[in-house]
Amino acid sequence: MSDTLDFEITLTERPATADERARVLADPGFGRHFTDHMITIRYSADRGWYDARLQPYGPIPMDPASHVFHYAQELFEGLKAYKQPDGSIVTFRPYMNAARMNRSARRMAMPQIPEELFVRAVELLVGTDKAWVPDTEGHSLYIRPNMFATTPTLGVNSPASDYLFTIIASPSGLYYPRGVKPVSVWLSQDYTRAAPGGTGEAKTGGNYAASFAGQAQAVEHGCDQVVWLDAVEHRWVEEVGSMNLMFVYGSGSNARLLTPALTGTLLAGITRDSMLRLAPGLGIPAEEGKINVDEWEAGCASGEITEVFGCGTAAIISPVGHVKGSDREWRIGDGEPGEVSMRLREELIGIQYGTRPDPYGWVHKIA
């Protein structure tokens, strides 16, 4: 039934004026401003998905006993809409986000949402608020689907029976307003992000709540981001901040790419997957494997590892220039973003913004 669910549409009586919108779009930052509308869809165990709405953006009344506030049954997604040279709007691989949301939902004992309904909801919100999709080069509309448990009960022996799915959208500026600059990273020894059997491969808020202390520690040590190591041996490199990590070995026509394999404790990034598929097309072999901190340090010392970068929807790529741990410290490259990193970045951006062909069929036109 729910894949044919109709949306009840209520447009806001007070949309932002063209002037207000222009002021926001001149310097949107990230995640600070929201468009005029939002999507809400309810779920209950007996009815399935129901009450789908496009409505004015605003607060949601919540019972303080709602399951999510006590037991963190929650998950989210993140994707972007991009303005094309001909003025049309696309999103990037939205069915991957829908599929990943359902994988997260399985782990969090939450309901599956039909992929078609997810994508239709994204299209409806972006189509309605299309004036908020920035024209400025490198800017985009960040789309944030979210699902959380609303059942008002403190009973903890079972998952909730009621959920709310929402989508909000936020114009987003350049991640690196002054040009892409390598970041410094802290090797976290005191904290881990995810353990085997845990929720590391689900995009759930709890993973972020658990990461803030590690991130704060990185900042205390003068670093921009935290590198997460495996929870068992504290040696194997997993992710950086909330991005997947890529290692470039060699250079020029001998360059190759390695990224940590999806062991169950890593989040399966859509940018990561796109890099793994784009690189071979550019003559850069790419593989999933394992790398520990000793190999990372030795590889940089010998010159075998030439570039390292994080990748994710928000930053696209974020080069790593400096690594610091409690008893070691080393540099990667010369303080400038590497050639392979920037080439992959250009290629992906070109596909997303419609200035390069899309041989993979990744862009999805908003009707």
- CB-nearer residue toward ligand PLP: 54 or 320: 320
Q: State the minimum distance, in angstroms, from the CB of residue 18 to ligand PLP.
A: 31
| Calpha distance 275→202 (Å, rounded) | 20
**Token match 């129901």: residue?**
50
Tokens of 258: 């390695």
Q: Which of 249, 258, 239 is nearest to 310 (CA)?
A: 239
| Calpha distance 75→90 (Å, rounded) | 24
- CB-nearer residue toward ligand PLP: 36 or 230: 230
Q: State the minimum distance, in angstroms, from the CB of residue 212 to ligand PLP.
A: 13
User: Would you say 365 and 101 are in contact if contact means Cβ atoms under 8 Å apart?
Assistant: no
| Calpha distance 342→319 (Å, rounded) | 9
Q: What is the largest CA-CA distance in the chain?
A: 63
Helical (H) or strand (E) element with 300: helix 293-302
Tokens of 229: 């190591």
Dump strand ranges (E) for 272-315. 286-289, 305-312
- CB-nearer residue toward ligand PLP: 153 or 217: 217
The helix/strand/coil state of 19 is helix
- CB-nearer residue toward ligand PLP: 5 or 75: 75
Which residues lie near ligand PLP (CB under 6 A)?
78, 203, 239, 242-244, 267, 269-272, 312-313
Q: State the minimum distance, in angstroms, from the CB of residue 181 to ligand PLP.
A: 20
Q: State the minimum distance, in angstroms, from the CB of residue 329 to ligand PLP.
A: 25
Q: State the minimum distance, in angstroms, from the CB of residue 145 to ligand PLP.
A: 12
| Calpha distance 126→177 (Å, rounded) | 24
Q: State the minimum distance, in angstroms, from the CB of residue 226 to ligand PLP.
A: 11
| Calpha distance 324→301 (Å, rounded) | 14
Beta bridge partners of 237: 229
Q: State the minimum distance, in angstroms, from the CB of residue 209 to ligand PLP.
A: 12
CB within 8 Å of 24: residues ≥ 6 apart: 16, 33, 171
Beta bridge partners of 99: none
- DSSP line for 186-221: EE-SS--S--TTSSTTS--HHHHHTTHHHHHHHHHT
- CB-nearer residue toward ligand PLP: 52 or 258: 258
CA-only gyration radius of the chain, Å: 21
- CB-nearer residue toward ligand PLP: 151 or 199: 199
Q: State the minimum distance, in angstroms, from the CB of residue 279 to ligand PLP.
A: 15
- CB-nearer residue toward ligand PLP: 49 or 142: 142
| Calpha distance 195→229 (Å, rounded) | 10
The helix/strand/coil state of 194 is coil
- CB-nearer residue toward ligand PLP: 92 or 296: 92
- CB-nearer residue toward ligand PLP: 244 or 318: 244
Q: State the minimum distance, in angstroms, from the CB of residue 334 to ligand PLP.
A: 27
- CB-nearer residue toward ligand PLP: 133 or 267: 267
Q: State the minimum distance, in angstroms, from the CB of residue 175 to ligand PLP.
A: 12
User: Would you say 196 and 242 are in contact if contact means Cβ atoms under 8 Å apart?
Assistant: no
